[in-house]
Amino acid sequence: MQLTLWTYEGPPHVGAMRVATSLRDVHYVLHAPQGDTYADLLFTMIERQDARPPVTYTTFQARDLGGDTAGLVTTAVREAYERFQPRAMLVGESCTAELIQDQAGALGLGANLPIPVVPLELPAYSKKENWGAAETLYHLVKTLLADRVPAPGTTRAPRPADRRPSVNILGPTVLGFRCRDDVTEITRLLGELGIAVNTVVPYRATVDDIRRIPDADINIDLYPEIARTTASWLQRTFGMPFTKTIPMGVGATRDFVREVATLVGVDAAPVLGTEVPGMSALAASRSRLPWYSRSVDSTYLTGKRVFIFADATHAIAAARIATEEMGFTVVGLGTYSREFARDVRDAAKTYGVEALISDDYLEVEAAIAAAAPELVLGTQMERHIAKRLGVACAVISVPIHVQDVPARYSPVYGFEGANVLFDTWVHPLVMGLEEHLLQMFREDFEFHDGAVASHLATSGHGATRTATAAATSTSEARADSPDLATGIADEPLTSVHGDALASDTSGDTGEVDTARVIAAIGAASAANAAGAATATIVPVWTADGERELRKIPFFVRGKARRNTEAYAASHGIARITVDTLYEAKAHYGR
């Protein structure tokens, strides 16, 4: 185990809780100490559910450890059945309860309830949340379909000619990324193909819905981290094929529609008839992404460096969209989903990068900083990392926070999902550009905070505000640079020719000649730098050097600062001026 501040996934019992909370008539009895009931907040606060999760805790305490903690499980199972009357029950234990080895699942079976009881043995110290969700769904489906399993070697009967083709959608859960809206979008697409949705599992499903799974023609594996194990078992046991394409992005949605149409034997024309691959005209797709991504200034989007780290499903899909549909350059690709590490590594090879497989957010942060991307696509964790690094970011995967469960319709799958992704990814870049421009011009004589409209500049009021702003700017420059303040605070400012500047004004307004003041500060900085000792240099930035550095785009400013400081130290330069900055740029640009 590793002590950490953040974690991408919770323990496996949280995954089991996600499945239980997604279902409507299944209850989960969790053998856990009093402190492990925190998980309720995940659903009521982040997912904004209007009811507690269907979970009963045994809530044993320290004083119970010397007694019969196993008896607490049996009592909790029977009381939960009497109170909630579920159609099926899951029984498991938290990571803490696993240590006392009460075997809660076996105790649940021993309660002899008149409903199916599914014992969950989820190793908390070697597996994580998504694996726990996948195992819970698999064992629940396998238990509820036990009496419908055909004899070995049985051939699946073809669909009657008069019956409408149907599919199951597997994988969406609460606390998933946009699952609610993705299901709506995919259901609408399937409806246009004439395909009915037999059931969605586990999201909002009942025990009866799960028992109807074999009635469909195929399964749609919408979220492989959760559903792949179940879909594979259904294929082996019932001969039900499942989809492999994730419908995220325009190209992948087209591929998904073709795959589904082929598997169930219908014509894809109702959806793909108006799609024109390879064209970016507005009428070439029902999604606006292809046209929008090419209608913006091509030099603005093309080649943008993007780092992607998420669950495997969304990371792989996002990389395809970034390169094929947005014109970005993938400079990093990774996942915390170790069960799908091979898939991510294969995808990373196509983009010429090495896959990052890790659940250590500090390792992820170091990789992002080293890659120096202009956009990060990731989880709630990467949002915080990107904020610290001053890089634009968009969330594309769990783990998420409350702002990633929007009230509006906001899928990421299907054609409408492609529209949502365009807005979600491009807007942070636009805001980043605006931030850079604001920083670049914030000290410009026309655009600083104290500047007034140009048509007021000659008025007395405008001149007064301009003079005040100039004085403030000069004062801030001195305060920001102690080395300058020490050298010039107590003596008149002079130009390189020795002219006194402190008393110079423009006309009768009393306005300080800002350009000459800045020139004097720069000259003083250069003089100070020229006389600095060269032994054991720890370079300091002068005010003019800092001002020039702030004009560099924020997403590469850190690298420019580090390179310049390294150059100054190696050349015995004590104070970094504008000249030093550009000398360093020329040095590293060779």
Question: CA-to-CA distance for 104 and 98, rounded, in angstroms?
Answer: 9
Q: How far apart are CA 141 and CA 128, in angstroms?
A: 20
Looking at 514-577, list the stretches that DSSP marks H as alpha helix, in order from N- to C-terminal side.
514-530, 543-549, 554-570
The per-residue DSSP string of 319-371 comes to HHIIIIIS--EEEEEEES-GGGHHHHHHHHHHTT---EE-S-HHHHHHHHHHH
Helices (H), 1-153: 12-22, 40-41, 69-84, 95-98, 104-109, 129-144
Give dist(CA 139, CA 229) in Å, integer.
10
Residue 187 CB partners (closer than 8 Å, separation 6+): 169, 197
Cα–Cα dist 120/143, whole Å: 12
Render the burial of 483-505: b for 16+ CB within 10 Å, e for the rest: bbeebbeeeebbeeeeeebeeee
| Integer Cα distance of 213 and 240 in angstroms | 10
Distances, alpha carbon 227 to alpha carbons 6, 136, 160, 224, 387, in Å: 26, 10, 27, 5, 33
- Rounded to whole angstroms, the Cα distance separating 208 from 87 reads 9
Torsion of CA 20, 26, 31, 34, to 10 degrees: 70
| Strands of 96-180, DSSP E | 117-119, 166-170
**DSSP, residue by residue, 246-287:** ---SHHHHHHHHHHHHHHHT---HHHHTT--TT--SGGG-SS
CA–CA gap between residue 432 and residue 374 (Å, rounded)? 9
Position 439, amino acid: Q
Catalytic residue, chosen from 50, 147, 297, 490, is 297
Which pairs with CB-CB distance under 8 Å and at least 24 residues apart come from 492-500? 493/517, 493/520, 493/521, 493/524, 494/520, 495/519, 495/520, 495/523, 496/523
Report the greatest alpha carbon distance in the chain: 101
Is residue 450 within 8 A of residue 472, CB to CB? The reply is yes
Residue 297 appears among annotated catalytic residues: yes
One-letter amino acid identity for 507?
G
Residue 582 · residue 545 · CB < 8 Å: no
Q: How far apart are CA 155 and CA 171, in angstroms?
A: 26
* Spatial CA neighbour of 577 closest among 439, 440, 484, 508: 484
Question: Rounded distance, CA 543 to CA 485, Å?
Answer: 10
The Cα–Cα gap between 271 and 189 comes to: 7
List residues with catalytic annotation: 297
